[in-house]
Every structure is written in structure tokens, then in C-alpha cells.
Amino acid sequence: MLAVFEVKKTLYGPDLKDAFIHLRSVHSAFLNWLHSKRDAVVPLDITRALRAFSRMTGVHAPSFKDYDRALPGDLALVYFTLVIEQLTPVPIVLGYGGCKTERGLRAGMVDFLTEQGGGLG
């Protein structure tokens, strides 16, 4: 497992937005790397994701190289989600100061995410 840390002095709006943007770029770089490994000679170890997929759906999990051709759209989405959940670095934001309560932090996150609108990240 890999984790990516973003350390901030405070976790108020501007710093939270900055951390979000940095961690989103890490996630994008990871997805580009993952797609580049799709045809790799040395396969990625995604056995946990494949096992979870088969248990959840009752469908034999195809190889990563062929999943989008072998599965209908909804099952391909489940498959890919399980793979990236297994492999994607865990994003962690640490702040030394900021909101006084968890409720305040959550309200700030909701406001920030609402401001970002739908989409990636």
C-alpha cells in the first residue's frame, strides 16, 4: 500500500483547496501509470480485486487487459473501481491548525466540494 501525504499549516479554505488540487494531480498521474501497465508483460498483482469482483458479482473476473471488452458496462465499472481501490495511493491531508470542531471541518468540506461541482477529484 502506498500513501501520499499533504501537510498544511492550517486546513482552512485556501489550504484545503490547494491540498485537494495537489492530491487530484497525484491521482491523475496514478491513473495514467495504471493505463500504461495494461499491456505490460509483468502483470500487476490485482488478485484481491479480482477475487472481490468474482465474489460480489458471481462472474469470473477477466484479465485487466481485457476487462472492458469481456464485461458489460456496469460490471466493467465495478471491476475497474475495485482495481483502482486496491492499487491507488491513499491520499492523506494533515493540518496543524484550522477548524475547532469536526463539524466545522465537515461543513467546510461540503462547501468546498459544492463549489467544485461535479467531476473528477
Residue 74 has a pLDDT of 93
Residue 118 has a pLDDT of 65
Residue 61 has a pLDDT of 92
pLDDT values of the chain reduced to their tens digit, one per residue, 121 residues: 788 898 888 877 788 888 888 888 888 888 888 778 766 655 678 899 999 999 999 999 998 888 888 999 899 999 999 988 888 888 888 888 877 888 888 887 888 888 877 666 5
Residue with cell 463539524: 103
Residue 42 has a pLDDT of 53
Residue 12 has a pLDDT of 79
Residue 120 has a pLDDT of 60
Tally of CB atoms within 10 A around 18: 13
Alpha carbons 58 and 77: distance in angstroms, whole number:
15
Q: At what angle do helices 102-116 and 13-36 cross, to 10 degrees?
A: 60
Q: Name the residue ranges covered by the structural domains of the chain.
A: 3-116
Q: Is 61 exposed, middle or buried (0-12, 13-18, 19+ CB in 10 A)?
A: buried
